[in-house]
Amino acid sequence: MSDWQQFTRFFLHSPKLGISLDLSRMGLDDAFLDKMQPAAEKAWMAVNELERGAIANPDENRMVGHYWLRDAALAPTPEIRAEIEKMLREVVHFANQVHTGAVKPPGKARFTRVLSVGIGGSALGPQFVAEALGQKDDKLKLVFLDNTDPDGFDRVLGSDLSETLTVVISKSGSTPETLNGMLEAAHAYKKQGLDFAKQAVAITGDGSVLYKQASSEGWLSIFPMWDWVGGRTSVMSAVGLVGMALQGLDVQNFLRGAADMDGWTRAQKWQDNPALALALAWYKVGDGKGHKDMVVLPYKDRLALFSRYLQQLVMESLGKEKDLQGNVVHQGIAVYGNKGSTDQHAYVQQLRDGLNNFFATFVVVLKDRDTEPFEVETGVTAGDFLNGFWQGTRQALSENGRANACITLPEVNAYQVGALIALYERTVSLYAQLVGINAYHQPGVEAGKKAAKSVLELQSKLLAALQTEPERWWNAEALAEKLAADPEAVFLMMRHLAANRASMQFRGEGLGLEINGLPRAAAVAH
């Protein structure tokens, strides 16, 4: 088969969406596709059942319903449909009230900025969409607290907050990073003489800790988070839509793009279904074991955060120790990337000539800009250079046997971004079925949370132990023995405290670091 014949066989295009998917350089062939046909049919049926309301997360006995968010008519019950439709109406209405000044901060004409406080899926999706679709004339500017870094808090919260609307996003209300961000934000408002509750909105689960707090304190509004929507697929719920609507972005076309992509990816045959074709390509290139990483290369500044968004969607969904039968399989696909052509000056050298442990995914946008073209050379624009760079990079990789796929969008707008997200959501679902894992639980994440909690518990024990002999100097080994703890963990904790607790007494450096239980002032006086 010639290169052109291979290209035409594995080139999928939707006239309705204007989106194309080229898998001609992913190593697909008829022998592999014939062998995978039974598994592909089974995966297709499983995802269709998921969309109809099947229990997709047996660990928590939950449905997975992110598909219903862009087409509420698909919801398995009238109650869920009504909830989705109500949420959308309330999001749009609230944003309109903010834009008109009907909802405004005390003493000001209107809000001009939105501070979004969240972590993981409650941040990555909204950040990606805001960056991809934002314009200089957006109705409100969005900024984010998406970590528990004190310096990060100071950088964001150090400006005037009098016209800032804070949106706190947490299903439980007790996620430590988000809780810390909310507490830091509330403290910053108070320092400026502002009432946090009068400038705050919650997006949370019904009856959660955050829900109760927002209700009792009279926050401006509360929007729902449902247990059948996971964080990494929540961008089309209130999690993503509130920020979009406040920013003034096209919420309806965002959802319509996703719904239309869902329609395209419901086809039973891979030739008509880009998500199934892409899932099969992932399987082929990684031997069904995730043996190759996914390098995402969007050739558009607006899509620079797409690789970060996909990291969580793909890695949290597919990174699993056990399959559905309980067998240890250690599945997953690692994702990294940055925008082109930036990467051509970063790690493309290794991609072409180094370890062949990856496949590339080019994301290409046909429309260069909204303004008139400008020639940087005679007959050549900057966009022409960008087009040449991605094609050249692709050819260079292909010549050295490096697998690659290409997704082409006509332009970057709400409709196309919604469709792009939906394509990968379904691809992840289908691939998980092909390799026999549950894409919708995350025991590893929970394990990390438990480990972090144990560190904080150890810190409390350490501080209490110091008070039993406040004048004694302790090194890590002695203190670990007293606490029956790991000396390394104790040393790392002492080092952290020494750098951040000016009120405590320390001496020595490195492994010679020592601590006592006297406050610094008391120690000096003593």
Q: Which residue has the tokens 């601590």?
A: 515
Q: How far is CA 294 from CA 57, 173, 253, 335, in A?
A: 25, 33, 29, 5
Q: What is the rounded CA–CA span in Å between residue 43 and residue 31?
A: 19
Q: What are the CB-based long-range contacts (under 8 Å, 24+) for 48-51?
A: 48/266, 50/429
In the residue annotation, 316 being an active-site residue is answered as yes
User: Catalytic annotation on 449?
Assistant: yes
List of residues 6+ apart from 132 with CB closer than 8 A: 302, 303, 305, 306, 412, 417
Q: Of 51, 177, 184, 316, which residue is the catalytic one?
A: 316
Q: Is the peptide bond before 341 cis (omega within 30 degrees of 0)?
A: yes
CB contact set of 485 (below 8 Å; sequence gap of 6+): 458, 461, 479
Distance, in Å, from the CA atom of 54 to the CA atom of 405, rounded to the nearest integer, reads 32
CA distance 124 to 313: 10
User: CA-CA distances (angstroms) from residue 399 to 314, 338, 425?
Assistant: 28, 22, 31
Q: Which of 477, 476, 485 is nearest to 457 (CA)?
A: 485
Give the type of residue at 92.
Answer: V
Q: What's the rounded Cα separation, in Å, for the pair 221 and 55?
A: 31
**Catalytically annotated residue among 86, 367, 449, 496:** 449
Nearest to 230 by CA among 131, 332, 88, 120: 120
| 345 annotated active-site | yes
Q: Count the neighbouring beta carbons within 10 Å of the beta carbon of residue 171.
A: 25
Backbone φ and ψ of 478, nearest 5°: -65, -40
Which one of 136, 345, 399, 450 is the catalytic residue? 345
Distance CA 365, CA 19 (A): 10
Q: Which secondary structure element, helix H or strand E, spans residue 221, and what is its range?
A: strand 221-224
Name the residues annotated as catalytic.
316, 345, 449
